Amino acid sequence: MHCAAASCVNNSKYRDRLIVMPHVIELQFHKAHAEDYTKWEKKLDKTDYRVSQYTRICSNHFKYGKPLAGSSVPTLYMRSYPDWALSRKQAAKEVAAVENGLICHALVHVCKYLDPQTTTRLAEQLRVQPGKNSDCIFQKLLSMSSTEARQLLQQVAPIVPGGKCLEALHIYRYGALCEGTGWLSAQFQPTKL
């Protein structure tokens, strides 16, 4: 299945090419409720296009990553994605190529989104005492050499939610979190080196 938004090339057949924006935890393809067909047609703005039961829009185009009551019409990136939007595969590749001075910070950011089992295995690998909080793991990651951090980042980047590598890239390359999407937060501001 593919996304009907004009700007979007997301297709479920090509999982490694999917663009997953940072506000989306898991990319899905959503269908419209019959009462929203006309609203979706206006947002899609395609000549002679009719929304049907088979029309799908991916999570990237919804403010909260999925249609919700009161927000069931796609509104984001309907005409185009920002220049910094990359596929999950490309974002993982690029985040692993971040400058040496930033690689450990990017690694910490990406590791915040690992599932609990992977975090436990990472703690064991880093020889962090069991039961210690994640700050101990993050401190250990920040003290790694850039070569070690780069190798570890290449391992963990493909297993975190899709948009989180893209988010790390944007934070540490451009100093802000995806301005204009409505979810810029002070807690995500990069640490000055």
Specify which of 47-51, 129-133, 171-175 reaches the highest per-range mean pLDDT. Answer: 47-51
pLDDT (tens digit, 9 = 90+) per residue, 101-149?
Answer: 788 888 888 888 888 888 888 888 888 876 667 788 888 888 889 888 8
pLDDT at residue 61 greater than cutoff 90: yes
pLDDT > 70: what percent of the chain? Answer: 87
Q: Where are the domains of the chain?
A: 1-81, 88-188
Collapsing DSSP to helix, strand or coil, 29 comes out as strand
Sign of CA dihedral 172, 77, 164, 162: negative
pLDDT (tens digit, 9 = 90+) per residue, 65-99?
Answer: 888 887 789 988 888 888 778 787 787 777 777 77
